Amino acid sequence: MKSDDIKWRVIDKPGETFKVHRSIYTDPEIYEAELKNIYESNWIYVAHDSQLPNPNDYFTTMVGRQPVIISRDKTGKLHGFINACTHRGAKICRKKKGNAKNWSCPYHGWVFNPEGKILDIKSLDSAEFPDNFDMQDYNLTAIKVDSYAGFIFASLNTDVQSLEDHLAGAKVFMDLFNEQSTEGLEILPGSSMYTHHGNWKMQAENGVDGYHLDIVHASYLQLAALRAKEAAEAAGGTDNVKAIQPSNPDVSGGNYCLGNGHVMIWLDIPNFRDRGLGLQYDDLVSRVGEGKAKWMAGRLRQVMIYPNVILFDGISTQVRHWRPLSHEETEVTVNCIAPVGEPTDARKRRLRQYEDFYGASGLATPDDLTEFDACQEGYNGITSPWQDFDRGMKSHIMGADEEAKHLGLEPESSAPRAADESIYHGEYRQWLKLLIDGSD
Amino acid sequence: MAIDQQLTADVADFLFYEADVLDRRDWDDWLNLYEDDCLFWVPAWDDDTVLCEDPDNEVSLIYLDDKNRLKDRVWRVNSGLSSSLVRMPRMAHLVSNVRIIEASEGRILVHAKFQANAYKLDEYRVDFFFGDYQYELLPKGDSFSIKSKKVIIRNDIIPRQLDFFSV
């Protein structure tokens, strides 16, 4: 696409208005440009360290449209490859995850090791290859892989900036997440995948949308309150979930644009002592101090690392990542993540809160997915083509607010309410930049 | 173990009845089939062949270990506050391969297979989940009540929603 075909779709007038044209969710040409210039040119979240903990472990997934293998070699170093044999292109690793000292392609038997090096070509002696044939030209095609605080990212772009530079302000919140335990975090067994009608960018918007909470999740919030009330009255009521009920995002919390499209919202949790980490709050305070403990256990944080993952730490703890299947279909993978070595009662509480709210089998996510479908349908009403992200613009400030300064965070911008939609300026400025940079 | 034909027939009829009340959305009748300290459990899969069998350390898709949690789900359907539940799918549950695994005076363990078909009016699509039911039933009068129901879903990529009525 030419840059002139792209840039009119975002109107960015600081202090005045910020609008996007709804064709960004429906235009197949825009979608192609996003795959090429966002998903296949940037760092994409692929896995957590705990999903391939041992030497020779591997994990298979997708980056944009392309199948990849993430592997750990015998020294523990991470590698990544296109999951296609350099001979005839068959996928080499067929399972979701495994452990192997070498990988033999199931089609013609070429053999590679977890560093991507080719070890054997079947019947090489009788191959009659031309004289210029060099076996070392057939090592697996490497991609960039790096990790931060246990979260592993991959990029198909060999010239991509360093992962730390890419993560920018998000690193502060990744550290806060990871330091909940001195031993780090682990993905708990039990993955879930769901699909929905609706452009992938609605995933990136919704997970940091404080404004929809009491409308879309009215049934959840009312039920959580009713449950707690009936259990307190003890007239046959029980409450083993103790659902987390954050403060009102219309008047409290805040949001930050963290750079490179990454954004986050935060909210205080009045009943934070009902959380898995809240059950250990006093120990946490003595380990990390009151200020940090408040952020870790007492504040909901939902951190969107552009373009494909959100780290949720509030209602429970979830890593949610997605990949677009088309301009109007999205596939989402969700995992519960927890501090390593967590006490049994805290682990159980975390799981019950997770299952109660999250996932397509929970009491909240299906309502979000229904709204994405409704938006995608509504966007077809292109006679009404523009939407603004102006809510909160008056109180949105560039740079750090007081809370950010306490944290040592240097955000691009700060806002005083979790329901402010100025958070999307960070996402869509990055969206526009990446598409313009990659345009013809 | 000799197959008790009469017991198998009675149990199958009870399972068919539960399928029917779900399809007819007779939620009160459905709740009446469960014991107060019941378990309704849909475990998640960890990998192609590995099912999560330890709900206190591993993720479940649904884990309701108290009848009040089943009532929560029914409350949400009736509340009118959940947009995913406004246009409910038309469902048809098929139940088959009903086998008594163990029967004693106090309890009966039953395995069965199911396919739950959903016609989703707002999405213009048909979906279905299929898999296994594993029940622990208690004799109750001339019928049974459900102490636990474990649902193993074999096709676990979920199109938008999976709830108690979907399986």
CA atoms within 13 A on the CB side of A197: 14
Cβ contact B63–A352 (<8 Å) = yes
Please say if the pLDDT value at position A237 is more than 90. Answer: no
- What confidence category does residue A203 fall into, taking pLDDT thresholds of 50, 70 and 90? very high
The predicted model gives A37-56 an average pLDDT of 98
The predicted model gives A269-287 an average pLDDT of 95
CA atoms within 13 A on the CB side of A220: 27
Q: Residue B95 corresponds to which amino acid?
A: V
A-B C-beta contacts closer than 8 Å:
135
Cβ contact A223–B75 (<8 Å) = yes
Contacts with B46 from chain A: Cβ below 8 Å = 189-191
A96: contact with B, CB 8 A cutoff: yes
The predicted model gives A57-82 an average pLDDT of 97
pLDDT at B128: 98
> Apex CA A191: angle with CA B62 and CA B110, to 5°?
45
Q: What is the pLDDT of residues A402-436, one digit of tens each?
A: 999 999 999 999 999 999 999 999 999 999 999 99
- In angstroms, the CA A64 to CA A62 distance is 6
Cβ contact B60–A190 (<8 Å) = yes
- If DSSP codes are grouped into helix, strand and coil, which group holds residue A73? coil
Best B41, B42, B57 residue to mutate vs chain A (most A CBs within 10 Å): B57
Measured between CA atoms, how close is B1 to chain A, in angstroms?
35
pLDDT at A216: 96
| Closest to A310 in 3D by CA, of A269, A356, A275, A264 | A264
pLDDT at A419: 97
Cβ contact B66–A195 (<8 Å) = no
Cβ contact A222–B81 (<8 Å) = yes
Residues with Cβ within 8 Å of A411's Cβ and at least 6 positions away in sequence, in order, are A169, A256, A257, A258, A259, A399, A400, A404
B56, B62, B83: residue with CB nearest A370: B83
- If DSSP codes are grouped into helix, strand and coil, which group holds residue B149? strand
- What confidence category does residue A45 fall into, taking pLDDT thresholds of 50, 70 and 90? very high
pLDDT at A180: 92
- In angstroms, the CA B134 to CA B148 distance is 8
Q: What is the pLDDT of residues B107-158, one digit of tens each?
A: 999 999 999 999 999 889 999 999 999 999 999 999 999 999 999 999 999 9
For domain B5-166, give the CATH number.
Answer: 3.10.450.50
Beta strands B34-43 and A397-398 are unpaired
Residue-range domain boundaries for chain B: 5-166
pLDDT at A176: 96
Interface residues of B toward A, Cβ cutoff 8 Å, are 42-48, 50, 52, 55-63, 65-66, 68-69, 72-73, 75-76, 79, 81-85, 122-123, 156-163
**Which pair of structure tokens corresponds to residue A34?**
């996003």
- What confidence category does residue B82 fall into, taking pLDDT thresholds of 50, 70 and 90? very high
Handedness of CA A234, A236, A240, A245 (dihedral sign): negative
Residues with Cβ within 8 Å of B99's Cβ and at least 6 positions away in sequence, in order, are B8, B110, B111, B112
The predicted model gives A222-250 an average pLDDT of 89
- In angstroms, the CA A90 to CA A402 distance is 54
pLDDT at A225: 92
- If DSSP codes are grouped into helix, strand and coil, which group holds residue B138? strand
Chain B's closest residue to A220, CA to CA, is: B76
Residue reference for tokens 């995992």: A335
- If DSSP codes are grouped into helix, strand and coil, which group holds residue B9? helix
A325: contact with B, CB 8 A cutoff: no
Cβ contact B81–A216 (<8 Å) = no
Best A320, A355, A357 residue to mutate vs chain B (most B CBs within 10 Å): A355
Residue reference for tokens 């622990």: B136
A225: contact with B, CB 8 A cutoff: no
pLDDT at A170: 98
A97, A344, A361: residue with CB nearest B61: A361
Cβ contact A370–B72 (<8 Å) = no
Please say if the pLDDT value at position B11 is more than 90. Answer: yes
Cβ contact A363–B76 (<8 Å) = yes
CA atoms within 13 A on the CB side of A179: 16
Cβ contact B45–A336 (<8 Å) = no
- In angstroms, the CA A69 to CA A400 distance is 39
Measured between CA atoms, how close is B61 to chain A, in angstroms?
6
Contacts with B55 from chain A: Cβ below 8 Å = 351
A218: contact with B, CB 8 A cutoff: yes
Residues with Cβ within 8 Å of A352's Cβ and at least 6 positions away in sequence, in order, are A240, A241, B63
Alpha helices in A262-407 (DSSP H): 281-288, 290-293, 344-357, 365-379, 402-407
Chain B's closest residue to A354, CA to CA, is: B59
**Length reported for chain A:** 440
C-alpha distances (whole Å) from B12 to each of B115, B132, B147, B148, B149 are 15, 14, 16, 16, 14
| Interaxial angle between packed helices A218-233 and B67-79, expressed in degrees from 0 to 180 and rounded to the nearest 10 | 140
Please say if the pLDDT value at position B105 is more than 90. Answer: no
Write the DSSP symbol of residue A296: I
Measured between CA atoms, how close is B70 to chain A, in angstroms?
12
Please say if the pLDDT value at position B2 is more than 90. Answer: no
Mean pLDDT, rounded, of chain A: 96
* Helix, strand, coil fractions of chain B, as percent rounded to 5: 25, 45, 30
Please say if the pLDDT value at position B1 is more than 60. Answer: no
> Apex CA B52: angle with CA B98 and CA B72, to 5°?
75
- What confidence category does residue A238 fall into, taking pLDDT thresholds of 50, 70 and 90? confident
- If DSSP codes are grouped into helix, strand and coil, which group holds residue B101? strand
**Which pair of structure tokens corresponds to residue A295?**
């952020």
Cβ contact A216–B61 (<8 Å) = no
- What confidence category does residue A252 fall into, taking pLDDT thresholds of 50, 70 and 90? very high
Q: What is the pLDDT of residues A112-147, one digit of tens each?
A: 999 999 999 999 999 999 999 999 999 999 999 999
Contacts with B81 from chain A: Cβ below 8 Å = 218-219, 222
| Closest to A255 in 3D by CA, of A392, A430, A408, A405 | A392
Measured between CA atoms, how close is A166 to chain B, in angstroms?
31
The predicted model gives A333-348 an average pLDDT of 97
Do residues A347 and B56 touch, judged by C-beta distance below 8 A? yes
pTM of this prediction? 0.97
Cβ contact A351–B52 (<8 Å) = no
> Apex CA A37: angle with CA A32 and CA A43, to 5°?
125
C-alpha distances (whole Å) from B89 to each of A59, A336, B122 are 36, 29, 8
Cβ contact B63–A371 (<8 Å) = no
Please say if the pLDDT value at position B42 is more than 60. Answer: yes
- In angstroms, the CA B17 to CA B36 distance is 19
C-alpha distances (whole Å) from A335 to each of A54, A64, A323, B58, B80 are 20, 20, 15, 10, 29
Cβ contact A218–B56 (<8 Å) = no
The predicted model gives A226-243 an average pLDDT of 87
Give chain A's domains with CATH numbers.
Answer: 44-159 (2.102.10.10), 168-437 (3.90.380.10)
Cβ contact A193–B157 (<8 Å) = yes
Give the lowest-confidence range in A45-49, B13-17, B122-126.
B122-126
Chain A's closest residue to B76, CA to CA, is: A219
